[in-house]
Structure 1
Amino acid sequence: MVPFKPIIFVAHDYQDFAIRNVLIHPKCGLFLDMGMGKTITTLTAIVELMYNQFEVSKVLVIAPLRVAEDTWSRETEKWAHTQFLQVSKILGTERQRERALDEQADIYVTNRENITWLVDRLGKHWDFDMVVVDEFSSFKNNKSQRFKALRKVLPKIKRLVGLTGTPAPNTLLDLWPQLYLLDQGERLGKTKRMYQDRYFSPGARNGHVIFDWRLREGAEAAIHKRISDICVSMKAEDWLEMPERIDNTIAIQLPKKAKQQYAELEKELIIELEHADVVADSAAVLSNKLLQLCNGAIYDEFGEYQEIHDRKLAALADIIEESNGQPVLVFYTYKHDEARIMKYLKKYKPEKLTDSKSIKKWNDGKTGVLLAHPASAGHGLNLQDGGHIIVWFGLTWSLELYQQANARLFRQGQDKSVIIHHIVAKGTLDEKVVLALGNKKIGQDALLEAVKARLEEVRNIDTTRE
């Protein structure tokens, strides 16, 4: 067996700039687009700080589970100047986490769900002098346990780096908690309310409850200016030679019976919404039910799924057949999507993205069809070596998940054109989701807009009939 030969790292100009920012600023944000090498950029800075400048001695990386399991350890092994770094993964059962914590290492990696446990476990003995938060946007909720836990140990952290390609996936309100972790409110305000009052105006409300906040005129530019000294923001298309991206919509017709069921379900839920405010919860219920039916199955009141049609399954099989043996990465939305795809595509031997072994197998070209949920494969995983064809079996309202998931293949290092297929049921909410994603409208706002527009259409039809 030929031993793995590490790669000599030659930094792009933007990576040099980002590395210098980490070295100069004890607390900083690297808001680099997907595929721009945030991990190796940070690892290079860690080597400099730990072994040349002797500024830090113990680094903690907080990341999504799949990234914690695979990406950081694999990246250290990949590059010549980082392969000597020892990585310990604080994952698994409490006993496994304890053992990993006791190991001698340079970098300790844990998933974000474990940060509360880790802070409680170490207490006043917290000794990580540098913390890297991979996918900083997952700390956008200042009321979450993970945010509160990390805030508790901020005084003990000399250096903190926040990494993300999407710092404000839904709204610029998401930015405040992340910046607070960097500067304790120095730039955007000591409290989220101060931030809201300074840069936003109340939008839609129900009584005293405000559903959305709208940016004041000039606020976006002012926010960016306030944070520009410690946050580096760069887009891939401005700096990299990216592969060609081909977006393809494959329209399917629902069978007659499924069309009737879709219309009845929509009418039933729309009528229900007529007598109440259309808020995120009610819109999400309607959206979920209709999108499930578009995909071919729907959950009943007992949590079991009822199959409605197989049109999307047949379209997916056609795509795989036409790919002539080239690997295909399939993103699904619901658990019943996964179960039905696994069964329907049995002859193609589909596999699920589960752990670092399944990632390696895919990247080694040994997996023909790989199934992944965008929430579990959406951040930080490098899958570009395994293929260049993506299929969206079921669509998501989340622009962040959509962009991050596509960036698993559409990224630096991809040597083929990336084809992204979207299987869309004609005349349904599927089309609204594709339109929203294409217009770069964001999650909840796009969902509410689509549901309200449809509700207005139904009301107009009823008025005409009268």
Structure 2
Amino acid sequence: MPNTENAIHKGFGLLFEMGCGKTLTAIMIAGTAYQMGKVEKVLVVAPTSVCSVWPKDFAEFADFKANIKVLMGDKNRRLKLLNDLDNFPFKALKVAVINYESTWREGIFEALYDWDADMIICDESQRIKTHDAEQSKAMHKLGDRARYKLILSGTPVQNNAIDLYSQYRFLDPTIFGTNFYQFRNRYAIMGGFNRHQIVGYKDLDQLIQKEHSIAYRVTKDEALDLPEQTFLQRYITMTGKEKNIYDRIKRESFAELENGGQITAPTVLTKLLRLQQYTGGFLVADGQEKPELVSRGKLNALEEIVDDYVIDAGKKLVIFARFRPEIDLIGKMLEKKKLRYGSIYGDVKLEDRGDIVKDFQTNPETMVFLAQIDTAGLGITLTAADTCVYYSVNFNYAAYSQSLARIHRIGQKNTCTYIHLITEGTIDEVVLKALAKKEDLAKTIVDEWRNYF
């Protein structure tokens, strides 16, 4: 009998660099398969901060009926959402989105396996590069059952070529087999103590040829029709407790403004400032001056980007944040990862700033530039990076616009990518919309302050 395994279980890799449209392409593939009658259920597995992007991208790009559920919350809520998808009475592509860390949890893995998705999309597939990690093993089992599979990644090979095995074990086991140690012995040169360390590689041409036999690579350099600037969002979902605190701060601020007599821009902006500090993870308790860290949602999302983009892809990154406690928190995270970075904020002397910028621009070991947006958003050149993350922004469009130009200026050879970290359902979304309209909140807010609370 002919081997039908590969014919039944089709897999393909979209190895697109950030901003080159891998999510859009995946939605097009899923939609085409749905319209051809080959796919009814799609499971998307993604990093936590990317999960909320998928419903928004489906809404924007899909020209077909789709019902999307993001499986977040406790186990019972996730299982209920999956069940709701199954019971949806109208004809539509059913899409379940879940984060990697949840796929192998007791009760959830079994439910996903029984749901029996026709297609599984593994977004940022480098998340399963470690072959014996729990989430990797869960994805291999789920993938073995699915008829169609996609991996999406700008950095499929990260620290070493061995990273490919687990991703392709999910995608198509016929390419590199199902035994990690056979794969390692085939392509890695072992050495060190008891020959347990990979000291080099062999036959890499063959490995790359096999990799690309079921994958398509797109880099920013090749994507000639990319806009000069690409804007992306990563979303952070607050826990129920965090949302309750946010809503309380919002209500109190509204009440104070409503009953506070004359409304001025400074008074409104001060109240908004408190909300924005909270979405960054900090809260100034009543009677206290020092902000206290109460949430790590944004920091975790930023850490995912740093891992993917700086550590794994080896690219330089600019990070802007508005508040000093955020700068300190991010700095500690970078130090923990042993990443060399330059930092400019209000307390850094003017005469020292030029050397800090020069070091980032010219020193290949300085991978990150971390800056306070009000301090370093003007007049400096950071073209050694083509990607910038906004941990938080200020309310001034002119200052925000100037900060965009730090990487998008003469000397920049690549398309510039900007990633905004946004806490869902908060002031972050409102401010970003205002900035997109090129509004300066300090000028427009007095008459429209109720729209912001």
> Are residues 196 and 80 of structure 1, via their aligned partners in 2, closer, same or farther at CA, if it must alter by over 3 Å?
closer
- Whether 1:212 and 2:198 are equivalent positions in the alignment is yes
- The residue aligned with 1:375 is none
- The residue aligned with 1:230 is 214
Q: How many residues align?
A: 278
- The residue aligned with 1:318 is 375
Cα shift readout 1:112-132 (whole Å, capped 9, x = no counterpart): 111113653417623212111
Does the 8 A contact of 1:33 with 1:236 survive in 2? yes
- The residue aligned with 2:43 is 60
> Are residues 386 and 226 of structure 1, via their aligned partners in 2, closer, same or farther at CA, if it must alter by over 3 Å?
farther
Match of 2:124 among 135, 138, 149: 135
Q: 1:190: how far off?
A: 3.0
2:217 match: secondary structure: strand
Q: Tell me how far apart the structure 1 counterparts of residues 376 and 333 of structure 2 sit (CA, whole Å).
A: 30
- The residue aligned with 1:108 is 96
- Whether 1:98 and 2:98 are equivalent positions in the alignment is no
Q: Tell me how far apart the structure 1 counterparts of residues 388 and 16 of structure 2 sit (CA, whole Å).
A: 25
Q: Tell me how far apart the structure 2 counterparts of residues 130 and 61 of structure 1 sit (CA, whole Å).
A: 8
Q: Tell me how far apart the structure 2 counterparts of residues 161 and 386 of structure 1 sit (CA, whole Å).
A: 36
Q: Tell me how far apart the structure 1 counterparts of residues 77 and 100 of structure 2 sit (CA, whole Å).
A: 16
Q: 1:96: how far off?
A: 2.5
Q: Tell me how far apart the structure 2 counterparts of residues 181 and 151 of structure 1 sit (CA, whole Å).
A: 5
Please give the TM-score of this superposition, normalised by the length of structure 2: 0.52
Q: Percent identity?
A: 22
Cα shift readout 1:30-73 (whole Å, capped 9, x = no counterpart): 112222211121111212212x221121111001112101x211
- The residue aligned with 1:30 is 14
2:176 match: secondary structure: coil
Q: Tell me how far apart the structure 2 counterparts of residues 285 and 42 of structure 1 sit (CA, whole Å).
A: 32
Q: Tell me how far apart the structure 2 counterparts of residues 145 and 110 of structure 1 sit (CA, whole Å).
A: 15
What amino acid sits opposite 1:239 in the alignment?
A
1:208 match: secondary structure: helix
Cα shift readout 1:264-321 (whole Å, capped 9, x = no counterpart): xxxxxxxxxxxxxxxxxxxx99964986896599xxxxxxxxxx97777887543235
Q: Tell me how far apart the structure 2 counterparts of residues 317 and 152 of structure 1 sit (CA, whole Å).
A: 49
Match of 2:56 among 53, 69, 74: 74
Does the 8 A contact of 2:126 with 2:163 survive in 1? yes
Q: Tell me how far apart the structure 2 counterparts of residues 243 and 123 of structure 1 sit (CA, whole Å).
A: 38
Q: Tell me how far apart the structure 2 counterparts of residues 289 and 37 of structure 1 sit (CA, whole Å).
A: 29
> Are residues 66 and 227 of structure 1, via their aligned partners in 2, closer, same or farther at CA, if it must alter by over 3 Å?
same
- The residue aligned with 1:241 is 225
Q: Tell me how far apart the structure 2 counterparts of residues 43 and 285 of structure 1 sit (CA, whole Å).
A: 34
Q: 1:330: how far off?
A: 6.6
**Map of 1:425-444 to 2, 5 A cutoff?**
none
- The residue aligned with 2:140 is 151
Please give the TM-score of this superposition, normalised by the length of structure 1: 0.50
- Whether 1:353 and 2:421 are equivalent positions in the alignment is yes
Match of 2:67 among 86, 103, 112: 86
Match of 1:46 among 30, 51, 62: 30
Does the 8 A contact of 1:126 with 1:153 survive in 2? no
2:222 match: secondary structure: helix
Q: Tell me how far apart the structure 1 counterparts of residues 29 and 154 of structure 2 sit (CA, whole Å).
A: 18
- The residue aligned with 2:176 is 188
Q: Show structure 1 runs of 5+ residues with no match.
A: 1-22, 246-283, 298-307, 324-328, 333-337, 367-384, 388-466
Q: Tell me how far apart the structure 2 counterparts of residues 49 and 356 of structure 1 sit (CA, whole Å).
A: 31
What amino acid sits opposite 2:198 in the alignment?
D
> Are residues 356 and 386 of structure 1, via their aligned partners in 2, closer, same or farther at CA, if it must alter by over 3 Å?
farther
> Are residues 243 and 87 of structure 1, via their aligned partners in 2, closer, same or farther at CA, if it must alter by over 3 Å?
closer
- The residue aligned with 1:169 is 158
Q: Tell me how far apart the structure 1 counterparts of residues 170 and 162 of structure 2 sit (CA, whole Å).
A: 14
Q: Tell me how far apart the structure 1 counterparts of residues 50 and 148 of structure 2 sit (CA, whole Å).
A: 21
> Are residues 142 and 318 of structure 1, via their aligned partners in 2, closer, same or farther at CA, if it must alter by over 3 Å?
same
2:12 match: secondary structure: strand
Q: Tell me how far apart the structure 1 counterparts of residues 104 and 49 of structure 2 sit (CA, whole Å).
A: 18
Match of 1:202 among 190, 200, 207: 190
2:69 match: secondary structure: strand
> Are residues 116 and 314 of structure 1, via their aligned partners in 2, closer, same or farther at CA, if it must alter by over 3 Å?
closer
- The residue aligned with 1:417 is none
Q: Tell me how far apart the structure 2 counterparts of residues 289 and 160 of structure 1 sit (CA, whole Å).
A: 33
Cα shift readout 1:158-200 (whole Å, capped 9, x = no counterpart): 111111111112111100111111222x222332221222122
